[in-house]
Structure 1
Amino acid sequence: MKNDDHVHWMDQAFKDFEKDNDLSENPGFGKPLSKDLFKGDVYVQFEKTARAAGYLPEWVKIRKQIASEIETTDDFTKKKIDQLNAKVKKYNKCCPPPLQKPLFNINLIDKQLHNWL
């Protein structure tokens, strides 16, 4: 049952964006969507389209930052592990639940590093 008085927040965000920006300058504006977009798994199609457009989800950016820091760090001090854990918490908040990672533990750091590289 749909309530017409209710406006979904994403719809409202798009309307606000549309009001302030000229969407006609976007490539593909006014062109029909490919029929392939509606075949198979919609999420897989979205990922493929987003990847082709160069979109990188925030959680992927954070994961790459963490991996890069791990690769360039020689000494995992408590301070460094605390910094990494702050990023892991941020990563876990925005990534899909099955991809969430445990926080680093100074006693298990050697075993945990391979999960990020």
Structure 2
Amino acid sequence: MDRPYNDLIGDILEEKGEKDTLKGKGQPLSSDYMKRDTFQQFQEIAKDAGYVPHWLKLQKEISALIHTCRSASDLELINVKIKEHNLKCPPQMQRNLITVNNLDRAKEVW
């Protein structure tokens, strides 16, 4: 090893011949970069790349299922998906399970 540090990404870019052609190379980092923590930086980069978290995909799927719900077996499937959604989403985004009694309200909320 000829360096005192490991630069895995740099090595990969060097192998592909892309290390010197990166956009913004040699430019100072924006002041916004230092104001946010690593997770916030990741969220912005992921959003810009078009990444959608699994729980958001589930939320859209659950909404569609609720609006087309016709039977008790449909409710069971919806509740299974709601449980999965609640395990993966932030706590403030968790939702209650659906029953026949609150199906109309769920259509408004979801």
Q: TM-score, normalised by structure 1?
A: 0.63
Instruction: Give how far 1:23 is off.
Output: 4.6
Aligned twin of 2:104: 110
Residue 63, structure 1, aligned to residue 83, structure 2: no
SS at the partner of 1:90? helix
Q: Name the structure 2 match of 1:88.
A: 82
Distance 1:70 1:23 in 2: 46
Q: Alpha-carbon deviations, 1:55-82, whole Å to 9, x = none?
A: 11111111111122233x152x110000
Structure 2 residue runs of 5 or longer lacking an equivalent are 1-7
Q: How much identity, in percent, do the aligned residues show?
A: 33
Q: Indicate conservation of the 8 Å contact 2:79/2:97, yes or no.
A: yes
Counterpart in the other structure of 2:45: 49
Count of aligned positions: 93
Alignment RMSD: 3.1
1:105 and 1:54 map into 2 onto residues whose CA distance is 34
Distance 1:23 1:99, change over 3 A: farther
TM-score, normalization by structure 2: 0.66
Task: State which structure, 1 or 2, has the greater radius of gyration over its C-alpha atoms.
Answer: 2
* Contact 1:81/1:104 (<8 A) preserved: yes
Cα pair 1:62 1:87 within 8 Å, conserved: yes
Tell me, in whole angstroms, the C-alpha distance in 2 between the residues paired with 1:85 and 1:74.
12
User: 1:14 matched to which residue of 2?
Assistant: none
Tell whether 2:35 aligns with 1:39.
yes
Structure 1 stretches lacking a partner, 5+ long? 1-17
**How far, CA to CA, are the matches of 2:82 and 2:29 in structure 1?**
37
The answer to whether the 8 Å contact 1:37/1:46 transfers is no
